Amino acid sequence: MHDIRAIRENPAAFDAALAKRGLSPMSPEILSLDEGRRAKILAAETAQAAQNAASKDVGAAKAKGDNAEFERLRALVTEKKAEVARLTEEAAAEDARLRDLLMTIPNLPHDDVPVGKDEHDNVEIRRWGTPRTFDFKPVEHFDIAGVKPGMDFEMAAKLSGSRFVVLRGGIARLHRALAQFMLDLHTTEHGLTETMTPVLVKDAAMYGTNQLPKFAEDSYRTTNGWWLIPTSEVTLTNTAADEIVDEAALPRRMTAHTQCFRSEAGSAGKDTAGMLRQHQFEKVEMVSVTTPETSLDEHERMTKCAEAVLERLGLPYRTLVLCTGDMGFGARKTHDLEVWLPGQNTYREISSVSVCGDFQARRMNARYRPAGGKPEFVHTLNGSGLAVGRCLIAVLENGQQADGSVDLPKALHPWLGGKTRLTAEGVLV
Residues 230-276 have pLDDT tens digits of 999 999 999 999 999 999 999 999 999 999 999 987 676 777 789 99
Spatial separation of the C-alpha atoms in residues 289 and 281, rounded to whole Å = 25
In this structure, how many other beta carbons lie within 10 angstroms of the beta carbon of residue 413?
A: 14
| Dist CA 358 CA 78 (whole Å) | 44
How far apart CA 35 and CA 42 sit, in angstroms, is 10
> Is the Cα torsion angle 419, 421, 427, 429 positive or negative in sign?
negative
How confident is the model at residue 22, as a pLDDT? 96
Please name the residues in contact with 155: beta carbons below 8 A apart, sequence gap of 6 or more: 166
Amino acid, single-letter form, for residue 173 = R
Length of the chain: 429
User: Residues 6 or more apart from 237 whose CB is under 8 A from it?
Assistant: 208, 209, 287, 289, 360, 364, 380, 382
8 A C-beta contact, residue 352 and residue 319:
no
User: Listing from the earlier edge strand, what are the strands of the sheet with 244-246?
Assistant: 244-246, 367-369, 376-377
Cα distance between residue 186 and residue 301, in whole Å: 12
Distance CA 236, CA 230 (A): 12
From residue 159, alpha-carbon distances to 79, 98, 199, 319, 382 in Å are 65, 44, 21, 37, 33
pTM, to two decimals: 0.93
Amino acid residing at 385: G
Tell me the C-alpha distance between 283 and 260, whole Å.
7
73 near 58, Cβ under 8 Å? yes
Q: Is 410 exposed, middle or buried (0-12, 13-18, 19+ CB in 10 A)?
A: exposed
pLDDT < 50 regions, the chain:
none
Active site residues: 262, 277, 349, 352, 390
Q: What does R_g of the chain's alpha carbons equal in angstroms?
A: 28
159 CB-near residues (< 8 Å, 6+ apart):
166
Q: Cα separation of 134 and 168, whole Å?
A: 28
Neighbours of 19 (CB within 10 A): 13
Task: Summarize pLDDT for 9-60 with one digit per residue, the tens.
Answer: 999 999 999 999 999 999 999 999 999 999 999 999 999 999 998 888 888 8
Q: Which of 169, 168, 148, 165 is nearest to 157 (CA)?
A: 165
